[in-house]
Amino acid sequence: MIGWWHRADRAAGGLAADLVLYALSTAFAAVTAVTSTLLPHRAWGAVAAVGYLAATVAVLGQLLVRRRRPASRLSGAAGRAVLVAATWAGTALLPLVWQAVERAGGRLDRAQEEVLVIEHSGARLLDHGTPYLTRDAIAALPAGEQLLGYTPYQPGMAIFGLPRAAVGTVWWTDARIWFAVATAVALVAAVRLLRRDAAVSTTGGAAPDATPPTGGVAARDAALVRAVQLATVLPVCALTLATGGDDLPVLALCLLALACAARDRYLGAGLAVGLAAALKLFAWPVLLVLLIHTVVQARHRRSAGPWPTRPGPRFAIGAVGLPLVTLIPAQLVDSAALVENVLRFPLGHGLVTSPAQSPFPGHLIAQALPGGRLVAAGLLVAAGLAIAVQLLRRPPRTAASTALFCGYGLLAAILLMPSTRFGYLLYPVAFLAWAPALRLAGSTGRTADSRRNSLAASTP
């Protein structure tokens, strides 16, 4: 199965898979524009279908160029990367800005509910020092507004609601605009880090000849293009960012953390995943797997001799410290409200139930079988235990294997959770696509590591 995927991914220098992706995305966006029952989704589809169609035509042009000039940059990784950026602008950013402008002009059907929830939480944070309402305050709301009274996010997510709370209703204060900015910054930082060839030696200079062979660079860049493509222009990602968007900065920060780990920058990895964990609980499993990875690295380095960095403490500073720092104010202001929103509501013990009901196995079992929620919960726990055993038996030794653990683990959790969303699939898809890029980029670090050890051994 893996060999088949690699062959399909590399066909025509990656352009064949690009053509299939953009063509299918065009059809998905067009169908969404016509059939979706959610008005923000319909508005996204009407704009995104044009963007995906333009990308499909562009790939056909790249294939023609490649046929006549195989070495052309236009049809290589550089040209594909430019097309990914342009497609993201046309299928995610343009629909997002369009909906934000219409919403600021009075259209109330141009954002999903989570955007309103986060903006309201920002206003509460500014006024009361906590983004959360108490259970009694939520109960006092009209029945149709109680769901919007809940904020099932970590306290840091309220930061994206502060622009609208501080400035007012303008298109650029829409929380989705700042989701997009944070996502772009994190992804650009991750790609730049993984494309940086030179590693630092023990003497502080660049390791000699740290650049991998040309074939290695080409393979790495192609893997990075595919990874970024599946984290941005894949319809589940573009649609989510344009209409809701809160998952994208969390995902991008986790990908940045993995890139930092691949480059032995464990302080940066901790800060990135710590920021993600301060936004949403979905980042906590990634934090845990990365923590295990740093422990394995620390043991390996102690056995190999002196090493200039200590992965564990550097990682823990940000990974543990940032989420705790953001939780403390909400805990001090009203701990009961924090528990009600962050724990009780996601676990199904709030005043209203979550609308996250995509027809995955866990949800279907919970709905169709007697005691189905317990059965689904049991399967989820069993899957978690199986992954935990695998983590203990074969802990991730590289950033690439860490990404695979995160991808497969979150995929199992999403499929088995009694309440879940189709959009959550963007996490495992992105992590699994990121793994090859991390593995190929990590070869540069391993080359530098070996030379660093040789230099240390030869130093009197």
Tokens standing for 393?
A: 């038996």
The residue count for the chain: 460
- Residue 272 and residue 359 share a domain: yes
Q: What is the mean pLDDT of residues 88-109?
A: 96
Percent of all residues in the chain with a pLDDT value above 90, rounded to a whole number:
66
- Residue 95 and residue 153 share a domain: no
Q: Over 60: is that where the pLDDT of 304 sits? A: no
- Residue 339 and residue 304 share a domain: yes
For residues 220 and 201, the model is more confident at 220
Q: Over 70: is that where the pLDDT of 316 sits? A: yes
Q: Is the CB of residue 233 less than 8 Å from the CB of residue 457?
A: no
pLDDT score at 200? 40
Q: Over 90: is that where the pLDDT of 160 sits? A: yes
Burial class (CB within 10 angstroms; exposed 0-12, middle 13-18, buried 19+) of 454: exposed
- Residue 69 and residue 144 share a domain: no
- Residue 56 and residue 138 share a domain: no
Percent of all residues in the chain with a pLDDT value above 70, rounded to a whole number:
88
Q: What is the mean pLDDT of residues 405-428?
A: 90
pLDDT score at 314? 84
Q: What is the mean pLDDT of residues 118-125?
A: 96
pLDDT score at 291? 94
Last residue of a domain, one of 95, 110, 125: 110
Last residue of a domain, one of 59, 94, 110: 110
Q: Is the CB of residue 176 less than 8 Å from the CB of residue 104?
A: no
Where does the pLDDT of residue 445 fall: very low under 50, low under 70, confident under 90, or very high at 90 and above? very low
Q: Over 50: is that where the pLDDT of 22 sits? A: yes
- Residue 350 and residue 375 share a domain: yes
Last residue of a domain, one of 53, 78, 110: 110
pLDDT score at 206? 36
Q: Is the CB of residue 419 less than 8 Å from the CB of residue 372?
A: no
- Residue 254 and residue 288 share a domain: yes
| Coil, strand or helix at 374 | helix
| Coil, strand or helix at 89 | helix
Q: Over 60: is that where the pLDDT of 308 sits? A: no
Rounded CA separation 154/326 (Å): 8
Q: What is the mean pLDDT of residues 59-88?
A: 92
What are the tens digits of pLDDT across the range 34-61? 999 999 999 999 999 999 999 999 999 9
- Residue 189 and residue 100 share a domain: no
- Residue 128 and residue 74 share a domain: no
- Residue 30 and residue 89 share a domain: yes
Count of structural domains, the chain? 2
Q: Over 90: is that where the pLDDT of 87 sits? A: yes
What are the tens digits of pLDDT across the range 6-16? 777 888 889 99
What are the tens digits of pLDDT across the range 324-373? 999 999 999 999 999 999 988 887 788 998 777 778 888 888 888 887 77
Rounded CA separation 22/429 (Å): 16
Closest CA to 125 of 176, 160, 152: 160
Domain ranges, residue 161:
111-458
Rounded CA separation 24/27 (Å): 5
- Residue 276 and residue 245 share a domain: yes
- Residue 215 and residue 74 share a domain: no
| Coil, strand or helix at 437 | helix
Sorted by sequence, the CB contacts under 8 Å of residue 89 that are 6+ apart come out as: 51
